[in-house]
């Protein structure tokens, strides 16, 4: 149950971090109607702004892994039974990110910069991602529902 709750709450941020890591293209969905196109353009603009902020930081693969863990392990999510364990896991991920930065002679403020851009991922939101990347493949299902079914089975 904890796995499901954590994934439901963080899948969109993890997806965006993964998209950034592999440089997934941002483009309009060719299957959208004319009415949807205006929304799609604004979604792409928002995502483009978020992506450019992250790209400026030149995040390495280890940092991406630590950021995904930090995003996944949110102790403030409602419905978590053992929030302290989740908080400890997030603390560990933050510590590992900090140690990685220090051991690779990166600027000392890099840790703070990486943590400060994470909330930008939430501004995009799961519905925008579903519309841009999955609208033709998952029909009326939500990614949360698909993830829940995958974990349960």
Q: How confident is the model over 80-111, as pLDDT tens digits?
A: 788 899 999 999 999 999 999 999 999 989 99
CB 4 within 8 A of CB 147: yes
pLDDT level of residue 18 (50, 70, 90 thresholds): very high
pLDDT level of residue 77 (50, 70, 90 thresholds): confident
Q: What is the mean pLDDT of the chain?
A: 84
Greater confidence (78 vs 9) lies with 9
List the CATH code of the domain at 2-152.
1.10.565.10
CA angle in degrees (0–180, nearest 5) for 83-86-88: 110
Which pTM was predicted? 0.84
CA angle in degrees (0–180, nearest 5) for 106-107-110: 95
pLDDT level of residue 31 (50, 70, 90 thresholds): very low
User: Which structure tokens are listed for 31?
Assistant: 């299957």
pLDDT at 24 over 90: no
**Domain extents for the chain?**
2-152
Residue 46 confidence (pLDDT): 85
Residue 32 confidence (pLDDT): 47
Q: Mean pLDDT throughout 42-54?
A: 86
Burial of 21 (0-12, 13-18, 19+ CB in 10 A): middle
What are the E-state strand segments in the chain?
none
Instruction: Out of 5-19, 21-35, 120-134, give the one with best mean pLDDT.
Output: 5-19
- CA atoms of 145 and 82, how far apart (whole Å): 23
pLDDT at 36 over 70: no
């Amino acid at each position: 149950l904890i796995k499901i709750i954590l994934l439901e709450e963080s899948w969109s941020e993890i997806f965006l971090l993964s998209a950034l890591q592999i440089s997934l293209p941002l483009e309009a969905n060719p299957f959208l109607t004319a009415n949807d196109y205006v929304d799609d353009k604004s979604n792409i603009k928002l995502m483009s702004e978020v992506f450019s902020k992250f790209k400026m930081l030149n995040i390495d693969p280890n940092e991406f892994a630590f950021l995904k863990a930090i995003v996944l392990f949110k102790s403030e999510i409602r419905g978590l039974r053992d929030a302290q364990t989740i908080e400890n896991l997030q603390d560990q991920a933050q510590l590992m990110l900090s140690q990685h930065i220090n051991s690779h002679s990166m600027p000392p403020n890099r840790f703070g910069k990486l943590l400060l851009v994470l909330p930008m991922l939430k501004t995009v939101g799961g519905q925008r991602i579903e519309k841009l990347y999955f609208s033709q493949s998952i029909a009326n299902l939500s990614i949360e529902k698909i993830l829940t079914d995958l974990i349960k089975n």
